Structure 1
Amino acid sequence: MTNLFSSFDPSTSFNLSLNWMSTFLGLLIIAPIFWVIPSRFNLIWSKIIITLHKEFKTLIGPVNSHGSTLIFISLFSIIIFNNFLGLFPYIFTSSSHMTLTLTLALPLWLSFMIFGWINNTIHMFAHLVPQGTPPILMPFMVCIETISNIIRPGTLAIRLSANMIAGHLLMTLLGNTGSSLSILFLNFLIITQILLLTLESAVAMIQSYVFAILSSLYSSEVN
């Protein structure tokens, strides 16, 4: 390990890139749900999915939401699963890498843009100039809106990966100092690590929700 950031490198441990297998572990867990009697976990997850469906339906609109919410619910599910999986020791956090986050954000944004500019061209042009803009500022507003539209997939990807890396990096830094501390400070360190783990659990849920909500908002703008 050459530096601290190399602990987040996919090929660091055992000289293998099998760390990415954590992304596909969900398929082994989700599959039996469809064949066994629903447990409490299944019922809780069903309630979460129904709540998300109602939320996305409100954002997208009742006309355009036929089946569209399934995309964003699936997106939320895969991100929250990867985020939580990364909280376990010695498991690679795939959602902390731009390779995964940009792969999720870029095709979604690109498909929305292509659909919008082909089917609702006038509507997309109208989005470039906010309502009530003075005529003098219109060229500047078009430039600003165009740039803000282009950087959307980048901001989605960076927001998720940066939030995942920041907490894990802080926990790694604090954990590495444990061997040189006294018993008294070690107790404080353990309490701090537990609190940080709780915070990271909240961040894992919030960031997956934010990613899915912003994606649905971008899709609602092209209709």
Structure 2
Amino acid sequence: MMTNLFSIFDPSTNIFNLSLNWLSTLLSFIFMPYIYWLIPNRYIIFWNFIMFKLHNEFKILLKNNKIFNSTFIFISLFMFILFNNFLGLFPYIFTSTSHLTISLSLSLSLWISFMMFGWINNTQHMFSHLIPHGTPNMLMPFMVTIETISNIIRPGTLAIRLTANMIAGHLLITLLGNSSSSIPFYLIYMLIFIQILLLILESAVAIIQSYVISILSTLYSSETN
């Protein structure tokens, strides 16, 4: 039962031995704002409003960063994860963010770039982060060990947080959907209502998780400056 349940996340769709599941990740670029249109429509105005709000919020977190436009890398990360989370809610579309292949690749590449930039350009500042202000001398070795471990596991926690939340919601929806053939007819309407509520919850989770990943990435970046 467990093998069949988790098999919904297997990238098994293929044509001529070519895996087509990962193409859902590329579909997000179709829905990106068409910035080259001469006359903005409501769709472009809506996305410009979201980008402007995210830019102002990320700019506050990156107040020590001299590069003003560095917030757009985190805005792009937010949009990429958001689109892929939403695409996974549609039937027969592969959920790429439910795999560590995508989430760990994003978080690990960002974390490595932040660490390389921080230790090369701001070495003294990075060392100061290992020992919080006011730490007693006896506790300094333990604090360095704890801070180092917490820093190393950051990309893993980012990836697992996104993957686990995507898997949990999809598994619950799948379990309820598979039980529809074995319940009485008068409970079908209740099951449909519960499924609709779960889809609304998963839509909120898709937005929240993409926002959390981008905010945490911004905070990790601000610590290296």
Alignment TM-score, normalising by the size of structure 1: 0.95
Which stretch shifts more, 41-50 or 145-154?
Answer: 41-50
Q: Does 1:8 align with 2:18?
A: no
Equivalent residues in 2 for 1:45-194, closer than 5 Å: 45-61=47-63, 63-194=65-196
Q: Does 1:26 align with 2:28?
A: yes
Alignment TM-score, normalising by the size of structure 2: 0.94
RMSD over aligned Cα atoms: 1.7
Which stretch shifts more, 29-38 or 95-104?
Answer: 29-38
After superposition, the C-alpha distances for 1:82-125 in whole angstroms (9 at most, x for unaligned) are 00010001100101110000111001100000110011111101
Which stretch shifts more, 1-10 or 85-94?
Answer: 1-10
Which stretch shifts more, 184-193 or 28-37?
Answer: 28-37
Which 4+ residue blocks in structure 1 deviate beyond 3 angstroms?
A: 12-16
Which whole-Å CA distance do the structure 2 matches of 1:163 and 1:199 have between them? Answer: 11
Aligned length: 223
Which whole-Å CA distance do the structure 2 matches of 1:205 and 1:125 have between them? Answer: 35
Which whole-Å CA distance do the structure 2 matches of 1:32 and 1:118 have between them? Answer: 38
Gapped regions of structure 2 (runs ≥ 5) = none
Contact 1:57–1:65, Cα closer than 8 Å, also in 2 = no
Which whole-Å CA distance do the structure 2 matches of 1:34 and 1:27 have between them? Answer: 14
Which whole-Å CA distance do the structure 1 matches of 2:150 and 2:92 have between them? Answer: 38
Deviation at 1:12, TM superposition (A): 5.1
Gapped regions of structure 1 (runs ≥ 5) = none
What percent of counterpart residues are identical?
Answer: 67
Which whole-Å CA distance do the structure 1 matches of 2:125 and 2:30 have between them? Answer: 43
Which stretch shifts more, 35-44 or 201-210?
Answer: 35-44
**2:37 is matched by which residue type in structure 1?**
W
Deviation at 1:36, TM superposition (A): 5.5
**1:130 is matched by which residue type in structure 2?**
P
Contact 2:35–2:44, Cα closer than 8 Å, also in 1 = yes
Deviation at 1:29, TM superposition (A): 3.1
Which whole-Å CA distance do the structure 2 matches of 1:24 and 1:182 have between them? Answer: 41
